[in-house]
Amino acid sequence: MRLDLTGLTTRAAQVWGGVRLVPLTRDEPITGLRLHARAYGDDPGLVEVGRRTHYVSYIPHGFVATWTDDDTPVAAYGTQLNAHGTSVKRGATGDEPPAHGMRLRFHRRMARRVDRNRLRFLPLHLAVEGYLALHFGGPEVVWEEWSQRAIRRGLSPRVEEAYAGVEVAGLVDALKHFEIHPGQCGVLVYVADALASAFVVPHPDDYRALHATLVQDMYGELVHYYATLATPAPRFDVRLPDDVASLADLRAAAAREQAEWARFHDATMADGLLGESYATNRVYRMGDYALSRFLPTFRLKQENHIGELITDRDGRTAYLKTFRLSESQIRRGHLLTTLAAHHWHLPTTATALGVTDAQLGLRLQAAGFGALLREDVLSHYRAG
């Protein structure tokens, strides 16, 4: 699957230091689906995602999707915003107690129907949980190299780290100072001109209500690193032709420049997101709309995004939120998908990767999966 942004138009970027925001507007707002935020405060949350499987994280807010069955307009239910944020750690475990002095907020499932035509879901956590659950059960065949822990517990617990938006240098100021474009229904966030996140909603009123929640979202290690070290992003200045002699000429020249910028942006800057194919998993059907999450193909040393989206029956995007994976997260995803593709057989997987069995074992250890291997096997690999 590829992301379909039909009906969305790329507008002129706004730059604040190392942060570049690219607005997206809709030709026709979607009125049969609306989103609003539900604030949860500062307590970490625990979500039951399966039998004896839990997802633990800092969850500052959720989204509530409201829709109609006949595509008639529906009003946003109401919005409450919370500007808190902190560094966050993600995990899928039911064994670790909460930190001293902190309460856990319990949720039933990542996406839960709360009324006939209302669905509560946890933005980005839905996507991250899909990444954490990637081949979570561990080896499907009991080859001799795998430890008893790997056989009994699989990859539990899986832990990943991320940063809240307030810790991404420049993002808070950029969102506070930039104007919201008329008809804006989304934004692409760049840090040091690396695509950090995409956010799309059905209606301009939804975007105005949810614009500030971008500082509560989580961003990857690479994005935080770029924001900390980034120099100011270059501005793409417009140079009008010398033959502009009237307001009509000026309007025509401005329209050409806007179209050229949109073509350049979509084909070049956003190609790592829009030009990639994704494996999707539908989470919930909402009348004419479907809530899904997606995973990339885990291309090494390239741009990879996970995310979630709501599409209509024609596959067009009504809602989108993405998370850019770090290089280490990409390597972990690549290792797991390659192992699973070769039925967790180490020699076959090593051959597919062009390495020796020992090199593959050490890669697994470096990626944080060393506990999956028997200790004597790992010691043999270290000895060379």
Which tens digit of pLDDT belongs to each residue from 211-260? 999 998 999 999 999 999 888 898 887 777 778 889 998 888 888 888 99
Judged against a pLDDT cut of 80, whether residue 93 lies above it is answered with no
Which tens digit of pLDDT belongs to each residue from 307-332? 999 999 999 999 999 999 999 999 99
Nearest Cα to Cα of residue 322 among 298, 301, 297, 295? 295
Strand partners for 169: none
Judged against a pLDDT cut of 80, whether residue 87 lies above it is answered with no
Judged against a pLDDT cut of 70, whether residue 180 lies above it is answered with yes
Report, as an integer, the average pLDDT of 17-25. 95
Provide, rounded to the nearest whole percent, the portion of the chain with pLDDT above 70.
84
The SS3 assignment for 195 reads strand
How many whole angstroms separate alpha carbon 198 and alpha carbon 96?
Answer: 32
Percent of the chain that is helix, strand, coil (3-state, to 5): 30, 30, 40
Burial of 138 (0-12, 13-18, 19+ CB in 10 A): buried
Lowest mean pLDDT among 28-37, 50-59, 250-259: 50-59
Judged against a pLDDT cut of 60, whether residue 381 lies above it is answered with yes
Judged against a pLDDT cut of 60, whether residue 192 lies above it is answered with yes
Report, as an integer, the average pLDDT of 18-37. 93
pLDDT band at 273 (very low <50, low <70, confident <90, very high): very high
Which tens digit of pLDDT belongs to each residue from 274-300? 999 999 999 999 999 999 999 999 999
pLDDT band at 74 (very low <50, low <70, confident <90, very high): low
Judged against a pLDDT cut of 60, whether residue 75 lies above it is answered with no
Which tens digit of pLDDT belongs to each residue from 140-155? 898 999 999 999 989 9
- Residue 213: CB partners within 8 Å, gap ≥ 6? 37, 61, 81, 123
Model pLDDT, residue 372: 94
Judged against a pLDDT cut of 80, whether residue 56 lies above it is answered with no
Model pLDDT, residue 78: 40
Model-level pTM? Answer: 0.83
How high is the mean pLDDT of the chain?
85
Q: Could you say which DSSP state residue 178 is in?
A: S
Judged against a pLDDT cut of 90, whether residue 100 lies above it is answered with no
Model pLDDT, residue 85: 32
**What's the CA angle centered on 318, arms 312 and 323, to 5 degrees?**
120
Q: Which helix (H) or strand (E) holds 55?
A: strand 53-58
How many whole angstroms separate alpha carbon 253 and alpha carbon 239?
Answer: 9
